Amino acid sequence: MKSISAEQPEVVPQLVAATAHSLPEQADALTRARSFAEPLIAGEMLDTGENTLAHADAVAAILKTIGGSEAMQAASYLVYACDHLNKPHEVIAKAFGESFAALAIETTKLVKVQQQARAADESAQLVDDPKLRTENVRKMLLAFSRDLRVVMLRLASRLQTLRHCAARKASVSPQLARETLQVFAPLANRLGIWQIKWEMEDLAFRFLEPDTYKEVARLLDEKRVEREGYVEQLRAGLEKDLKAQGIRATVHGRPKHIYSIVRKMRGKSLDFDRVFDIRALRVVVPEVTDCYAALSWVHAQFQPLPDEFDDYIARPKANGYQSLHTVVLDEAGRAIEIQIRTQAMHDHAEYGVAAHWAYKEAGSKGYSGVSAASEYDAKIAVLRQLLAWERDMLGEQGGNEGLFDDRIYVLTPDAAVVELPQGATPVDFAYTVHTSLGHRCRGARVDGAMVPLNTPLQNGQTVEITAAKEGGPSRDWLNADLGYLVSNRARAKARAWFNAQITHETIARGRESVEKLLQREGKTAIKLEDLASQLGFKSADNLFEVVGKDEFSLRNIETLLKPPEPALAPDDYLLLKKSRNTEKTPKGGVLVVGIDSLMTQLAKCCKPAPPDDIRGFVTRGKGVSIHRADCSNFREMATRSEERVIDVEWGLPRGAEAAVYPVDVSVEAADRQGLLRDISEVFAKEKMNVIGVQTQSIKGTAWMTFTVEVADSGRLAKVLGIVAEVSGVRSARRR
């Protein structure tokens, strides 16, 4: 039985040229990286039983074989060193540079994702839970698209794991073998890295179905000499005849891959002898016209099978593959599969996307005439194949279920991949790239064309943002009906900007009030931070904010600035403690418990009204000031002068008419024409007299303070509920 290595085709270099060029070349990078990693991993073993350093050596060798530079090979050692470093990103960046560190960290993260996926598979979750598989594929796609070098490192590492187990005749878990067939081999196929794809498929199949593998290998080996002699005779004759027809052609025999043979046998219910590519030739010609000329001559000399002809030149495969495929019968009735393609098509078929990646190191002409116009074009080519691979993976779940139901991937002008929710707009894109870019976004180009900012983006598009030097978002962006923002995260960032602006305006207003007070009192030398600290605030801005919101009375500052009042005289204490058998109701409807005809006044800072829970504070010369129990000013004064607090409660008002009390109401709303009128009409219909109105509009938001007269503050809550239903009103509350 032949070994896999005997069936392995010649591996063509230059496969990872484009990924390699993104790593900075450094003197002795490979030697330095191995020396750096060796003391960390030399004594470690992977879960397959392979020595970690030996595995890294083999991965570097695979990368070298397929064209990886020394820098790319060096990265294979740093990936395995990560787990043994406390701060891997910091350490590797310092020793080798940021590019190496980013690659090592990204690859390490992906390895852990795949380990978790296999663990889930072992507990039968992966097969039964499409959502889990979708998430794992998404994470792989993001890792690959963020850094193309990760693709090559993971493919090389998986191939080495399979080679190691095959060489040691060790078992491989079904989960790892299935992952190879279902994830890694299709990825290599999509990227056109055929040599890795075929070897991976054969090795994985060998572990999953060893008996079938051995049987097909035996059948191939039994007639190997006869078959190879026949194919060589056929190859030489075809090449000679084509040249005689004026067609410059190179004809090769094609390698045999056990897994592909088995798939054809099963897919078409064929016996081994009827699998066409057991006898197969490949014809490479200079021009497209030569392809069809060669096809015409082949069909004239042999009997073609009409159902086995495919024109992938006129209709290329999704991954860009082009070739003519035909199956013909010789005089003995034996089937022969023949592929006909140009040299450029052959290079793409052999190197896949890597033929485009290679442009930078190979120069403007690329390899074998295949080139990409720019690094951007190369990345676009890779991204398209990665997205196609992702669709292949999730499409097996059936229907449209999968990643593309809720995610899209677009590119920056530098070809960096950005993940967005389905339906996202250029504004969402700008906020995802950077919060500041989102705030300053003013226009967008998609694939070079100007578009409205609420245009839904599509997979694979390139988005370029036009931004102002400074400024903020538009209020329209927060209007869901206009469709500017789909991402919850972007919407939160825009809303936070407006909140910060309001806070800034409030602080400025509060600062102005405090500074004017200090000027009146002749205390401008006082440091504002010290003043805030003495009043119990962490910073001056905290003080300015509550003053700007009218939640903290300037009287507190006045009190602090004035000299302390003398303590109450003994007679005053006696007055407060004096008890009466009868209770009278002073003017204003407030009963001062235990004190006869003591003057009272309603505090202007909190404007209490029945049936609010109230407290009294004895002032000097102005009687008792009545506050709401939750008044911040009262709590501040009570803390400093607890002996002046006095119990009070509402009494019956004098006279036939019920007493009314002024109450302040704050309303926040989207500014519009007629807003003040509509809110005033609510108070009028509810028979609440409005005795004062203050309004201010900031950036499209109206801030209103209504002073209304109420007999019962409890009824006010119902009226505020009606105000809140007025169009544009965001909140209505009592101050």
Fold of 406-486: Ubiquitin-like (UB roll) (3.10.20)
Decide if 214-351 and 406-486 have a common fold: no
Contact in structure between 339 and 254 (CB atoms under 8 Å): yes
Structure confidence at residue 492 as a pLDDT band (50, 70, 90)? very high
Comparing 77-91, 562-576, 644-658, which segment has the lowest mean pLDDT?
A: 562-576
Cα–Cα dist 224/649, whole Å: 108
What does the alpha-carbon distance between residue 63 and residue 74 come to, in Å, rounded to a whole number? 10
Its pTM surpasses 0.85: no
Neighbours of 380 (CB within 10 A): 17
A 10 A CB-CB count for 354 gives: 29
> 3-class SS at 565?
coil
DSSP state of 11: P
| Residue pointed to by tokens 């994985």 | 204
- DSSP 8-state assignment for residue 315: S
pLDDT-based confidence at 110, cuts 50/70/90?
A: confident
Cis amide prior to 611 (ω within 30 degrees): yes
Q: How confident is the model at residue 24 (pLDDT cuts 50, 70, 90)?
A: low
Backbone angles phi, psi at 91, to 5 degrees: -65, -45
Residues whose CB is less than 8 angstroms from the CB of residue 685 and which lie 6 or more positions away in sequence, other chains included: none
- Cα 691 from chain centroid (whole Å): 53
What architecture does CATH give domain 661-734? Answer: 2-Layer Sandwich (3.30)
Lowest-confidence region among 247-261, 387-401, 620-634: 387-401
User: Residue 442: which H helix or E strand, with range?
Assistant: strand 441-446
Question: Residue 645 to residues 570, 616, 640, 641, 642: CA-CA distances in angstroms?
Answer: 16, 6, 10, 8, 6
- The pLDDT assigned to 648 comes to 86
Residues facing residue 441 across a β-bridge: 467
Transcribe 630-683 into DSSP letters.
T-HHHHHHHHH-GGGEE-EEE-PPSSSSPP-EEEEEEEEEE--TTHHHHHHHHH
Fold of the domain built from segment(s) 1-193+367-405: Hypothetical protein af1432 (1.10.3210)
CA contacts within 13 A on the Cβ side of 344: 14
User: Rounded to whole angstroms, how far apart are CA atoms 571 and 311?
Assistant: 113
- The rounded distance, in Å, linking the Cα atoms of 673 and 527 is 43
Strand ordering across the sheet containing 463-467: 449-451, 441-446, 463-467
Q: What is the pLDDT of residues 127-182, one digit of tens each?
A: 445 555 556 666 666 666 666 677 888 888 999 999 999 998 888 888 888 888 88
At 403, is the pLDDT very low, low, confident or very high (cuts 50, 70, 90)? very low
419-464 confidence digits (pLDDT tens): 888 899 999 999 999 999 999 999 999 988 999 999 999 877 889 9
421 within 8 A of 433, measured Cβ to Cβ: no
30-51 confidence digits (pLDDT tens) = 889 999 999 999 989 988 889 9
Q: Could you tell me the residue ranges of all domains in the chain?
A: 1-193+367-405, 214-351, 406-486, 497-561, 570-650, 661-734
Instruction: Supply the mean pLDDT for the chain.
Output: 77
Is 394 in contact with 401 (CB distance < 8 Å)? yes
At the topology level, CATH places domain 214-351 in Beta Polymerase; domain 2 (3.30.460)
